[in-house]
Chains A and B, each alone.
Chain A
Amino acid sequence: MVRLYLPNDTSSRAAGAARLAEVWQERTGIELIRTSARGAFFLEPMVERDMPEGRMAWFNVTPDDLPQILAGKGGTPVNEIPFLRGQTRVTFANFGVTQPLSLDEYRAHGGLKGLEAARTQSPEAIIEEIRISRLRGRGGAAFPVWHKWQVARETEADRKYVVANADEGDAGTYCDRMVMEGEPFRLIEGMLICARAIGADTGYIYCRQEYPAAAHTLRAAIQKADEAGLLQSHGHRLRLEVVVGAGSYVVGEETALLESLEGRRGVVQARPPYPAEAGLHGKPTIVSNVLTFATVSTILARGGEWYSSMGTERSRGTVVLQIGGRVKQPGLVEIPFGATLAEALERFGGGMAPGSRLKAVQVGGPLGSLFPVSKLGIQICYDAFAKAGAILGHGGIVVFDHETDMVELARHYTVFTAEESCGKCTPCRVGSLRSREILERIQAGRGTADDLALLADLGETMKTASLCAFGGRAPYPVLTAIEHFGEEFRRLTK
């Protein structure tokens, strides 16, 4: 009986793992272990087995490759895969190794150490540990996590909530989904630590509708955690529930998410008050990204000092990038903050796909700025991006090649923002659609130079006056496209 490890997450399944499992399930002599994925999606479906010399991997496997794998021929030692070797895996250390719903394996690979540490500490001490780690929120806003927890802890209320924002909507990002599908106990552990720190008795995981497998895995994991008594702490049981969204991008914004969670339209609410003071049902609520919670457990287990020893001055720890687009090696990359964008693309992206040349890179999802080749020297950290008027967002990096029509790309973003604007505030409600129309006019050859000025003015109004970051960021892809590739726009205008 040979044990074969085959990832079971959505990306790997789509790449062919599902087909392999289907074909091989009747085979005798092999035992298929369905694990999480390592994130090297250009190698999927990837099959691994333990050999005397260590874990070996076979890449882009087809059903017919089985004899070769069983013979132990043609494999690559996992720790020699360049894409993975260059990374500093902290949050994703166990990915590709463990079975998502095996609590024993999670524990055996260092899981629950953070929670155990937290349970012997006072809430204040937990928050202090997070403060020392200098962890900032990984959802995009990069707010110091400890500070939010402190506010929620200090706000008096009969109830408090902890909410995981799993509405991972940026195109080209998937690290939250990988956590939920691959190591759900890590998210639960982080939420339990947070609940203890702020005194919450109820938690929700707001999972986007497009992630059915994640919601399913989480529900099973919550049940296992409950059966194992993990949700019990100091005589209280954390009520933890998965809530599935209804398909709105803006619900990734925390106030809109809370509205949706309360059963109302997912539209943005003006802040203050911030959720940490008055959130779900008006009670102090910590809304944090899945990745943030997933990082917390390791910080508690290994100490804030250790975590803050990585990264740059004001961006500590590791950054989780998801590289996609026209590169040779799309996949998940976890490295300390501080490398330049060019380095990251070069070391992990593996160069451009055959026959294509790099033209532009977008970082931070559909609201992120576009970088031309000349600007790729930017350091990957919150400050450098903020200074450049760009965002790291959720770590999504999309690479565009020389064939990309920048006017069409800009229009594509306005289609997205016009579609996804919640409609609550004037600048975003009107501006998103109007910019799409102007770009379409330009594309049709009916635009003038004044229209480019109008786009700039309109963008300025959206930036200045919008209620939330969605409207405030919506003009950036368009404006950076015009800034760096203006000729393509001017060519079309009269």
Chain B
Amino acid sequence: MATTAVETVRLTIDGVPVTVPKGTLVIEAARQTGVMIPHFCYHPKLKWDANCRMCLVEIEKMPKLQTSCSTPVAEGMVVRTATAVVNEAHKSVLEFILANHPLDCPVCDQGGRCDLQDFSHEYTPTTSRFIEVKRVFEKEYFSPLIETQMNRCVQCLRCVRYCDEVMDVKALAPVGRGTMTEIKHFTHHELDCEFCGGCVQICPVGAFTSRLSMYEFRPWMLKRADTICTYCGDGCQITIQTKENELIEVMSAHGAGRNNGDLCARGFFGYHATTHPDRLQHPLIRRNGQLIQTTWEEALEHVAETFTRLKLQHGPAAFGGLIASRCTNEDLYVFQKFMRLAIGSNRIDSSARYGHINGVRALRRVQGTHRWTVTFEDIVSADALLLVGTSLTETNPITGLKVKEAVKKQGAILLTIESLVPAVGTISNITNLATHHVSAHPEQFGNIVLGLIKAVIEEGLVDQALAQRATSYVQAISEAVRACPWPVIENATGATSSTLKETARTFARAARTIILVGQGVLRAPGGYGIVMNLLDLLLLTGKHDQPGCGLAPLAEENNDQGAVEMGTVAEFLPGPSDLNDRPARERIAGLWKEELPQGAGSTLIKMLEEARTGKIKAMLIVGENPVGSLPTGARAKEALEQLEFLVCQELFLTETAALAHVVLPACSYAEKDGTVTNTEGHVQQVRQAIEPIGESRPDWQILSALSGLLGYPLEYGESREILKEIRSLIPGYGLLGPAPTPPRPDQTVVDRYLREGYTEDLASRYSLAGEGQAERGSRKEGSFALVVGQTLFHSGKLSTRAKGLLQIQAAGFLGLNPANAQEIGVTEGDRVRISNEQGEMTTTVKLLDRVPEGLALFPEHFAEDRLTDQRR
């Protein structure tokens, strides 16, 4: 990485000389010398506001005391933070603040970690000279999750500024003037926002607190565990605070983790999912058609015996294994080792199959990496960001914050190709920040990308060096897009050629460009090809090998990336190495001291097919729920019912676990140690916060115990030993420091791709999808294209067990454009029946102007809202 010399400034703070970068604020320079200047309104994340007037200091040659939060350092500056005058000022301002504060510390959840308490302790006498009645705000009900006590408020506006500057939500504002300035939200009904919890976390006093943990603790009673949130691929560091093995609250610290202290609703309010009363506490075994409680001993022995019998009867190829990429790397690693050694089957897959694998395969093929070549920091400092099919705020909220920071604070240009359209609502909409937005019907992402590439060719935006280096590649693509006429593209996508050309020009003009690809593309039919074409876009515009540039597929699950790297997908061994990569096989076999099975891998869909046809007789499913997750068309239930033996390791009795012969209770992330790898390839520590619920055990421990009974003991004392073994296969795994060091594209792989690699599927990738189908917009009356997606408040189905999140959103809905709703005569809250070839269901209408006409948005989280299959 290029290091540019930073201009520095020397100054003296309380007699101590200090050198800091130019532009540093005095308050931060003081912090570096170990001096904490008292403050309320200042926060390093926010633009300073200098409203609390607490941080006054004396600066030589300045006539008055200055607020250190708003004064940048200057060469030779002499600052004093603790003179009699300064102390008097601090004391006076505190006396003012306390004149209105209710001093209700005994019933305040902030007590013990309150800035006002701490500064009062330091500065003020215990009596107040102000004897008049304190300012009183009428208590108002704010929200089911966030409690406000405005009488405690010091009007520092951190909450208001955070909500605007960082979240781009603007749900809060000061209302009233003078003494009666009160922080409120904009409407008369209860708070309706993103519920990121930022206001609760950034409030220096107890004006905003969480109702989920209200009155349940004093901070000093809590035990902390720094761990990683498992709700999405962003991998936020969180601190779980517990009291007597109860989850009390989740916090995050500024400066900590890839999220730098920011969280979303799922991270901040979703932590109760793991301790839901429905958690499986004991092993279950099927007797006379019923699952009944049993002991670990009996359950494990039954599994071992049955596996051994079936293996003798049908051979190891009759086994399939499926694991959720929510599991830790250690779980994933032991799982594939168990399947390959104890069972002897390569029929392994994980939930990375749904989408993430498509991104990884494209990256490997074009540039020889299986990870991003960029980091969150690169996103923040990008000049242009292109989002394709992401619904970023809903799927990866913290990556979304990095994009918001890039656009709002660093002036990056945002280009979006998304199904949802710009519209201001109570949840921030990433497309609102876009300078160029192309509305994409869910089936049209590929065609729009083709249009962009065509625009790059026609507008002469192809990198000259590339054109010389890879003449035939450029020529082949030029010819391919020539065969895609503009009228057809425009007709199919609804985007005009001038829009696409302008977008392409803007993209090509920017120096540091990153393409973020989301589930809208990755999970779509042909998603792999679209990612390939987006890599072509980077190559053609000469960005591909430039610093700060790259293509970044967004991981949906918290450990999608780890699942690929641990070799728990059909095509990979740990590494990841290709299943038939001979040197890799030999290396792994050498380490395992055991030959690897020869058979081919099977993807999830193929495994289900093989189960249906009787080729697979037994399956081990860890934490994954294909019956609940896959569309009815996949016929997962039918397939699993054909199995002779199904074993599930689960937290809950899911639709899939309910079909099992044995269900083994597993620990959630809060009950075990390990590592997970986030969307940018950063490996982070998961740490145990509470004792296992009931008799549950970590997945790897269950597998380890089973392996012994099967005669192939995989013995590990603790998760760290597994990580050590992983590191012997993948050197340095998880030893990357506070930020990932991304790989660079492998130039030999890129060269090979440009020479010949591109040819094999060029024709299919560069043909317009759905050509000849009915034109867009000519949909049948009353019919809509369903966009199945995430909402901000839920993630998969686990979150629907979290009481906090259920209080924000307890049921599914069908999001419709208000104009469409009017056309068909329905309105907000109406119950509607929807149907397609696969089935029908009833749900509630929600009017959303960010849903374009002709589409209907449907969140996938709620089991009762599933399409019921009519053919059964």
- What residues of chain A have their CB less than 8 Å away from a CB belonging to chain B? 248, 265, 267, 270, 418-427, 429-434, 437-438, 441, 450, 454, 457, 460-461, 464-467
Instruction: Kindly state whether residue B67 has any CB partner on chain A within 8 Å.
Output: yes
Contacting residues, chain A, for B70 (C-beta < 8 A):
270
Query: CB distance B178 to A465 under 8 Å?
Result: no
Shortest distance from the beta carbon of A115 to any chain B beta carbon, whole Å: 37
- For chain B, residues 93 to 130, give those with C-beta under 8 angstroms from any C-beta of chain A: 93, 95-97, 99-100, 129-130
Contacting residues, chain B, for A420 (C-beta < 8 A):
178
**Which chain B residue lies CB-closest to A272?**
B70
Bound complex: CA A432 to CA B179 (Å): 9
Query: CB distance A429 to B178 under 8 Å?
Result: yes
Please tell me which one of the listed residues B53, B132, B154, B178 contacts residue A421 in the complex, with CB atoms under 8 A apart.
B178
Task: Tell me whether A426 and B96 are in contact in the complex, defined as CB-CB below 8 angstroms, given that A421-B178, A461-B89 are known contacts.
Answer: yes
- For chain B, residues 45 to 60, give those with C-beta under 8 angstroms from any C-beta of chain A: 48-54, 56
Q: Which 4 A-B pairs have the closest CB atoms?
A: A423-B181, A270-B50, A461-B92, A430-B96
Contacting residues, chain A, for B100 (C-beta < 8 A):
430
Query: CB distance B178 to A432 under 8 Å?
Result: yes
Task: Tell me whether A457 and B92 are in contact in the complex, defined as CB-CB below 8 angstroms, given that A270-B70, A430-B97, A430-B100 are known contacts.
Answer: yes
Instruction: Kindly state whether residue B180 has any CB partner on chain A within 8 Å.
Output: yes
Contacting residues, chain B, for A422 (C-beta < 8 A):
177-178
Shortest distance from the beta carbon of A429 to any chain B beta carbon, whole Å: 6
Bound complex: CA A433 to CA B135 (Å): 10
Shortest distance from the beta carbon of A422 to any chain B beta carbon, whole Å: 6
Please tell me which one of the listed residues B93, B129, B154, B177 contacts residue A427 in the complex, with CB atoms under 8 A apart.
B93
Give the most central of B48, B100, B176: most A CB within 10 Å.
B100
Instruction: Kindly state whether residue B65 has any CB partner on chain A within 8 Å.
Output: yes
Interface string of B174-201 (1 = CB under 8 A from A): 1011111100000000000000000000
Query: CB distance A429 to B155 under 8 Å?
Result: yes
**Which chain B residue lies CB-closest to A265?**
B174
Task: Tell me whether A465 and B89 are in contact in the complex, defined as CB-CB below 8 angstroms, given that A423-B176, A423-B179, A426-B51 are known contacts.
Answer: yes
Please tell me which one of the listed residues A419, A423, A434 contacts residue B155 in the complex, with CB atoms under 8 A apart.
A423
Query: CB distance B178 to A460 under 8 Å?
Result: no
Query: CB distance B179 to A465 under 8 Å?
Result: no
Give the most central of A270, A421, A422, A438: most B CB within 10 Å.
A270
**Which chain A residue lies CB-closest to B133?**
A437
Query: CB distance A426 to B54 under 8 Å?
Result: yes
Bound complex: CA A437 to CA B65 (Å): 27
Bound complex: CA A457 to CA B96 (Å): 11
Query: CB distance B52 to A426 under 8 Å?
Result: yes
Q: 4 additional contacts, CB 8 Å, given A423-B176, A430-B99?
A: A270-B51, A427-B53, A454-B129, A465-B89
**Which chain A residue lies CB-closest to B71?**
A272
Instruction: Kindly state whether residue B64 has any CB partner on chain A within 8 Å.
Output: yes
Bound complex: CA A460 to CA B97 (Å): 16
Bound complex: CA A430 to CA B67 (Å): 18
Query: CB distance A426 to B56 under 8 Å?
Result: no
Bound complex: CA A429 to CA B853 (Å): 49
Shortest distance from the beta carbon of B95 to any chain A beta carbon, whole Å: 8
Shortest distance from the beta carbon of A112 to any chain B beta carbon, whole Å: 42
Query: CB distance A464 to B154 under 8 Å?
Result: no
Query: CB distance A426 to B132 under 8 Å?
Result: no
**Which chain B residue lies CB-closest to A250?**
B177
**Which chain A residue lies CB-closest to B96?**
A430
Q: Please give the number of chain B residues whose Cβ is less than 8 angstroms from any Cβ of chain A in the complex.
A: 34
Interface string of B17-54 (1 = CB under 8 A from A): 00000000000000000000000000000001111111
Bound complex: CA A492 to CA B582 (Å): 100
Shortest distance from the beta carbon of A493 to any chain B beta carbon, whole Å: 14
Contacting residues, chain B, for A464 (C-beta < 8 A):
56, 64-65, 89, 92
Query: CB distance B132 to A441 under 8 Å?
Result: yes
Query: CB distance B51 to A465 under 8 Å?
Result: no
Shortest distance from the beta carbon of B171 to any chain A beta carbon, whole Å: 16
Query: CB distance B132 to A419 under 8 Å?
Result: no
Contacting residues, chain B, for A465 (C-beta < 8 A):
53, 56, 65, 89, 92-93
Interface string of B654-697 (1 = CB under 8 A from A): 00000000000000000000000000000000000000000000
**Which chain B residue lies CB-closest to A441?**
B132
Query: CB distance B53 to A426 under 8 Å?
Result: yes
Please tell me which one of the listed residues B50, B54, B179 contacts residue A418 in the complex, with CB atoms under 8 A apart.
B179
Query: CB distance A270 to B155 under 8 Å?
Result: no
Query: CB distance B48 to A421 under 8 Å?
Result: no
Contacting residues, chain B, for A431 (C-beta < 8 A):
96
Bound complex: CA A454 to CA B67 (Å): 24
Shortest distance from the beta carbon of A176 to any chain B beta carbon, whole Å: 24
Query: CB distance B155 to A426 under 8 Å?
Result: yes
Bound complex: CA A425 to CA B154 (Å): 10
Q: Name 17 A/B residue pairs within 8 A (Cβ), A-sorted.
A: A423-B176, A423-B178, A423-B180, A424-B51, A426-B53, A427-B92, A427-B93, A429-B181, A430-B100, A432-B179, A437-B130, A461-B92, A464-B92, A465-B53, A465-B56, A465-B65, A465-B89
Interface string of B145-179 (1 = CB under 8 A from A): 00000000011000000000000000001101111
Bound complex: CA A423 to CA B155 (Å): 8
Bound complex: CA A430 to CA B128 (Å): 14
Query: CB distance A429 to B89 under 8 Å?
Result: no
Query: CB distance A467 to B176 under 8 Å?
Result: no
**Which chain A residue lies CB-closest to B97?**
A426
Query: CB distance A460 to B92 under 8 Å?
Result: yes
Shortest distance from the beta carbon of A409 to any chain B beta carbon, whole Å: 21
Query: CB distance A270 to B67 under 8 Å?
Result: yes
Give the most central of A420, A422, A426, A450: most B CB within 10 Å.
A426
Shortest distance from the beta carbon of B424 to any chain A beta carbon, whole Å: 15
Shortest distance from the beta carbon of A306 to any chain B beta carbon, whole Å: 34
Bound complex: CA A483 to CA B51 (Å): 30
Query: CB distance B93 to A426 under 8 Å?
Result: yes
Query: CB distance A429 to B129 under 8 Å?
Result: no
Bound complex: CA A420 to CA B180 (Å): 11
Contacting residues, chain A, for B56 (C-beta < 8 A):
464-465
Query: CB distance B50 to A467 under 8 Å?
Result: yes
Contacting residues, chain B, for A419 (C-beta < 8 A):
178
Contacting residues, chain B, for A426 (C-beta < 8 A):
51-54, 93, 96-97, 154-155
Shortest distance from the beta carbon of B283 to any chain A beta carbon, whole Å: 61
Please tell me which one of the listed residues A421, A425, A430 contacts residue B177 in the complex, with CB atoms under 8 A apart.
A421
Shortest distance from the beta carbon of A351 to any chain B beta carbon, whole Å: 39
Give the most central of A419, A424, A432, A467: most B CB within 10 Å.
A424
Shortest distance from the beta carbon of A275 to any chain B beta carbon, whole Å: 16
Shortest distance from the beta carbon of A319 to any chain B beta carbon, whole Å: 25
Contacting residues, chain A, for B48 (C-beta < 8 A):
270
**Which chain A residue lies CB-closest to B70?**
A270
Shortest distance from the beta carbon of A251 to any chain B beta carbon, whole Å: 11
Query: CB distance B92 to A430 under 8 Å?
Result: no
- For chain B, residues 485 to 531, give those with C-beta under 8 angstroms from any C-beta of chain A: none
Shortest distance from the beta carbon of A93 to any chain B beta carbon, whole Å: 38
- For chain B, residues 604 to 642, give those with C-beta under 8 angstroms from any C-beta of chain A: none
Bound complex: CA A330 to CA B154 (Å): 45
**Which chain B residue lies CB-closest to A440?**
B132
Query: CB distance A429 to B93 under 8 Å?
Result: no
**Which chain B residue lies CB-closest to A248?**
B177
Contacting residues, chain A, for B89 (C-beta < 8 A):
461, 464-465
Bound complex: CA A434 to CA B96 (Å): 9
Contacting residues, chain B, for A418 (C-beta < 8 A):
178-179
**Which chain B residue lies CB-closest to A460?**
B92
Contacting residues, chain A, for B154 (C-beta < 8 A):
426
Query: CB distance A425 to B178 under 8 Å?
Result: no
**Which chain A residue lies CB-closest to B131?**
A441
**Which chain A residue lies CB-closest to B100?**
A430
Give the most central of B53, B95, B99, B100: most A CB within 10 Å.
B53
Bound complex: CA A57 to CA B374 (Å): 83
Bound complex: CA A424 to CA B177 (Å): 8
Bound complex: CA A85 to CA B805 (Å): 79
Bound complex: CA A315 to CA B97 (Å): 40
Contacting residues, chain B, for A454 (C-beta < 8 A):
129-130
**Which chain B residue lies CB-closest to A433?**
B179
**Which chain A residue lies CB-closest to B177?**
A423
Bound complex: CA A441 to CA B56 (Å): 31
